């Protein structure tokens, strides 16, 4: 049962490449989806001051996505949401050098991933870290309190290393709702984000919104790779707006 749940959760996330991404690669060939996101889901009271300073001072904006990948279904590197994020930020911040790289933490819990953060940030020295977590913990039924402690320690490590942090929660999958108890992990990520004043990109609520309003049929497994590409493109677009807004970058910086 949990094996099927795992496959259902990861089928849409696609493969995230561990090498630098290329914004010049073409986006998905089909027309952009009608995947608007309510302003309430993209607003945050927490800021990204280091991102703001990098853009305003003319420095490179180096973003590290710490996430996972599917071992069975994936998108091409250029179609995955980190590459789409990079492309959208380069488009909206043409005077800024934007680089997005990905560090894969395959099948690792939050605690296991966080153990590598000190060394990882010494090597990468990113301006911003986007930490995508929660899925493996939910599948393994890690105690929610232990999960919260692990996320807390991970965020502290990232901030001590000098990076801005964005937390990204689990993806929404209606096919697994009866198999995995997701709310405790969503709630605990929200608590940690509030305690450390870091933005939380609510991927779960955003994807649920798209599914409910009919932009994507996330219940059906028949669309496979093409659906994953479209979802990733929309996530990249939403995330680029989220980062720019959280950094309070106005029109003067976006030219």
Q: Name the residue with higher pLDDT: 112 or 33.
A: 112
Cα pseudo-dihedral 205, 210, 213, 218, rounded to 10: -100
Question: What's the pLDDT band for 196 if we cut at 50, 70, 90?
Answer: very high
Stated pTM of the model:
0.85
**Domain parsing of the chain, residue ranges:** 2-21+46-246
Helices (H), ranges, 2-102: 2-10, 49-56, 81-92
**pLDDT, tens digit, for every residue of 65-81?**
998 764 233 546 778 89
**pLDDT, tens digit, for every residue of 8-56?**
444 444 333 333 344 334 444 444 456 888 999 999 999 999 999 999 9
Say whether 10 sits in a helix, a strand or coil: helix
Instruction: State how far the Cα of 156 lies from the Cα of 165, in Å rounded to an integer.
Output: 10
Q: How many CA atoms lie within 13 A of 222 on its CB side?
A: 2
Instruction: State how far the Cα of 249 lies from the Cα of 93, in Å rounded to an integer.
Output: 9
The fold of 2-21+46-246 is: Rossmann fold (3.40.50)
Whether the per-residue pLDDT at 7 is higher than 60: the answer is no
Q: How many CB atoms lie within 10 A of CB 43?
A: 11
Average pLDDT score over the chain: 83
What pLDDT shows up at residue 23?
36
Instruction: State how far the Cα of 189 lies from the Cα of 178, in Å rounded to an integer.
Output: 21
């Amino acid at each position: 049962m949990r094996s099927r749940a795992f496959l259902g959760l990861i089928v849409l996330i696609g493969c995230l490449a561990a090498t630098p991404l290329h914004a010049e690669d073409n986006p998905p060939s089909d027309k952009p989806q009608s995947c608007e996101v309510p302003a309430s889901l993209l607003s945050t009271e927490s800021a990204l001051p280091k991102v703001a300073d990098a853009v305003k001072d003319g420095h490179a904006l180096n973003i590290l996505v710490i996430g996972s990948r599917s071992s069975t279904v994936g998108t091409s590197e250029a179609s995955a949401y980190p590459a789409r994020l990079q492309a959208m930020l380069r488009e909206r911040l043409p005077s800024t050098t934007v680089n997005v790289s990905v560090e894969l933490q395959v099948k690792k819990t939050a605690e296991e991933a966080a153990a590598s953060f000190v060394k990882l940030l010494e090597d990468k020295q990113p301006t911003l870290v986007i930490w995508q977590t929660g899925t493996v913990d939910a599948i393994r039924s890690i105690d929610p309190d232990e999960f919260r402690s692990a996320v807390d320690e991970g965020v502290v490590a990232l901030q001590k290393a000098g990076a801005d942090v964005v937390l990204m929660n689990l993806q929404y999958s209606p096919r697994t709702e009866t198999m995995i108890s997701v709310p405790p992990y969503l709630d605990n990520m929200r608590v940690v984000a509030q305690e450390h004043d870091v933005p939380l990109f609510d991927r779960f609520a955003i994807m649920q919104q798209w599914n409910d309003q009919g932009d994507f049929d996330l219940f059906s497994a028949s669309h496979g790779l093409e659906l994953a590409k479209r979802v990733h493109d929309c996530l990249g677009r939403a995330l680029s707006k989220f980062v720019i807004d959280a950094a309070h970058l106005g029109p003067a910086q976006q030219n």
